[in-house]
């Protein structure tokens, strides 16, 4: 009886082991329905498997399931290529060929347009782009946000804030519009009122180097400021552009600017007006994260006097935008303004904290 029982248990364990082994084999074995991988062979002999995404600017991008980031290699470093899915290949003479690629001799591609089309042998150095993402001629990014709070009863406080920004970018031009209005009163008595606007046009001489012209306007009731105006022009450089890096830095942009500026401040009586020629130094950083769901940003402008360098005006915005649902977004911003020679009776530093809700948009096409 015991022997029969032990024999039965051993048979069951043996059968379970076979079932587990078969299941493991079915997972490990490649499925007939699995899509074929593209193969990129480099001149140094290394081989990359994955999906060819695109090649623009001399950089080939390959998506590999084993690597979280897109693999980027120089097109000139590729010796052989195999592509299993039809994609467009742009050639130097202007023609576009759509098809798959079979492995050919080093430096050559065997391009096949379809089952009834004969295979064409194309030199790899005649290919200028592969499956490029075609962007609209002008890309628009920006946001419009507002905040409101009110208290009644023992206190009669009311605060209103509106912020907006718009960037329109073409291949050679970039138009930037910034605006802000903040108002607050206590039982009808004004406690804060500030308005600011900036318009700037950049002309790209090269892919990175540009020339800008800008106008800055500001009004602040509690600083006794009727209008602060700064008209500027100078040179700028785009240090980081979208796509320069992988991972969390892939959508980051950063540029700096510097040039001369005419700076004018009109104050309410009895304060005298001021006008001078100054310099302007500015920097702007945008850092979208998690496919744009969160964006960190920093923007500053410094206007130092060319006569007295210790005399300067400085403004800085730091904040983040958070996409809630679709284009609905919330934001928090801290604005700092510093004037080391303010009118008598006013302070040199103002900090403004804004929590807003609004709409954000970006017309950039993404895969």
Of 1-10, 117-126, 315-324, least confident by mean pLDDT is: 1-10
Three-state DSSP string of 11-72: HHHHHHHHHHHHHHHHHHCCCCCCCCCEEEEECCCCEEEEEEEEEECCEEEEECCCCCCCEE
Q: Note down the domain range covering 274.
A: 139-362
pLDDT in tens, 35-61: 578 999 999 999 999 999 999 889 999
Q: Indicate if the pLDDT at residue 27 is higher than 80.
A: no
Residues 253 and 201 placed together within one structural domain of the fold: yes
Q: Indicate if the pLDDT at residue 24 is higher than 60.
A: no
Residues 77 and 207 placed together within one structural domain of the fold: no
Of residues 53 and 64, more confidently modeled: 53
Residues 211 and 268 placed together within one structural domain of the fold: yes
- Residues 120 and 89: their CA atoms lie apart, in Å, by 12
Within-domain flag for 268: yes
Residues 101 and 200 placed together within one structural domain of the fold: no
pLDDT in tens, 219-244: 998 888 899 999 999 999 999 998 88
Residue where a domain terminates, one of 130, 152, 184:
130
Residues 80 and 202 placed together within one structural domain of the fold: no
- Lookup result for tokens 């306007």: 217
Within-domain flag for 79: yes
- Lookup result for tokens 């600083």: 223
Percent of the chain whose pLDDT exceeds 90? 59
Nearest alpha carbon to residue 80 among 42, 132, 31 = 42
- What pLDDT is stored for residue 269 in this prediction? 81
Residue where a domain terminates, one of 73, 98, 130:
130
Whole-structure pTM value: 0.74
- Residues 48 and 63: their CA atoms lie apart, in Å, by 10
Residue where a domain terminates, one of 107, 130, 153:
130
- What pLDDT is stored for residue 347 in this prediction? 82
Within-domain flag for 258: yes
Residue 136 token pair: 């609209």
Residues 126 and 145 placed together within one structural domain of the fold: no
- What pLDDT is stored for residue 302 in this prediction? 96
- What pLDDT is stored for residue 257 in this prediction? 98
- What pLDDT is stored for residue 5 in this prediction? 45
Task: Give ∠ CA 276-277-280 in degrees, rounded to 5.
Answer: 120
- What pLDDT is stored for residue 117 in this prediction? 67
- What pLDDT is stored for residue 91 in this prediction? 93
Within-domain flag for 85: yes
Instruction: Count structural domains, the chain.
Output: 2
Residues 281-291, mean pLDDT to the nearest whole number: 94
Of residues 36 and 352, more confidently modeled: 352
Of residues 86 and 10, more confidently modeled: 86
Nearest alpha carbon to residue 277 among 313, 301, 306, 315 = 306
* CATH at residue 281: 2.40.230.20
Residues 199-205, mean pLDDT to the nearest whole number: 98
Average pLDDT, rounded, for the chain: 86
Residues 69-91, mean pLDDT to the nearest whole number: 91
Residues 150 and 123 placed together within one structural domain of the fold: no
- Element at 3 (helix H, strand E): helix 2-28
Q: Indicate if the pLDDT at residue 118 is higher than 90.
A: no
Residue 211 token pair: 């020339």
Q: How confident is the model at residue 116 (pLDDT cuts 50, 70, 90)?
A: low
Residues 226 and 179 placed together within one structural domain of the fold: yes
pLDDT in tens, 300-316: 999 999 887 778 999 99
Residues 322 and 176 placed together within one structural domain of the fold: yes
Residues 61 and 159 placed together within one structural domain of the fold: no
């Amino acid at each position: 009886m015991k022997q029969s029982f032990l024999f039965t248990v051993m048979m069951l364990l043996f059968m379970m082991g076979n079932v587990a082994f078969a299941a493991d084999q079915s997972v490990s074995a490649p499925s007939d329905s699995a899509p074929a991988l593209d193969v990129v062979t480099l001149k140094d002999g290394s081989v990359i498997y994955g999906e060819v995404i695109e090649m623009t600017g001399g950089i080939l991008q390959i998506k590999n399931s084993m690597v979280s980031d897109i693999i980027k290699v120089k097109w000139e470093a590729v010796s052989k290529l195999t592509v299993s899915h039809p994609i467009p290949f742009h050639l130097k003479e202007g023609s576009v060929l759509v098809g798959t690629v079979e492995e050919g001799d080093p430096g050559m591609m065997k391009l096949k347009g379809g089952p009834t089309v004969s295979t064409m042998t194309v030199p790899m150095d005649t290919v200028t782009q592969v499956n490029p993402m075609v962007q609209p001629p002008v890309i628009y990014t920006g946001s419009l946000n507002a905040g409101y709070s009110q208290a009644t009863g023992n206190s009669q406080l009311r605060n209103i804030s509106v912020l907006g920004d718009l960037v329109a970018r073409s291949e050679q031009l970039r138009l930037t519009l910034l605006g802000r209005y903040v108002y607050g009163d206590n039982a009808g008595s004004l406690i804060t009122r500030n308005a600011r606007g900036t318009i700037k046009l950049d002309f790209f001489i090269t892919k990175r180097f540009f020339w800008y012209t800008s106008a800055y306007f500001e009004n602040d009731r509690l600083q006794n400021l009727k209008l602060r105006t700064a008209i500027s022009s100078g040179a700028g450089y785009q240090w980081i552009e979208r796509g320069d890096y992988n991972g969390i830095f892939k959508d980051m942009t950063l540029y700096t600017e510097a040039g001369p500026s005419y700076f004018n401040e009109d104050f309410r009586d009895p304060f005298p007006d001021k006008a001078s020629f100054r310099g302007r130094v500015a920097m702007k950083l945008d850092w979208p994260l998690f496919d744009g769901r969160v964006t960190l940003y920093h923007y500053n402008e410094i206007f130092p006097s060319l006569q007295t360098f210790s005399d300067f005006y400085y403004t800085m915005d730091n904040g983040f935008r958070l996409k809630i649902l679709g284009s609905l977004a919330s934001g928090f911003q801290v604005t700092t303004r510093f004037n080391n020679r303010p009118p008598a009776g006013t302070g040199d530093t103002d900090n403004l904290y804004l929590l807003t809700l609004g709409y954000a948009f970006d017309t950039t096409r993404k895969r």
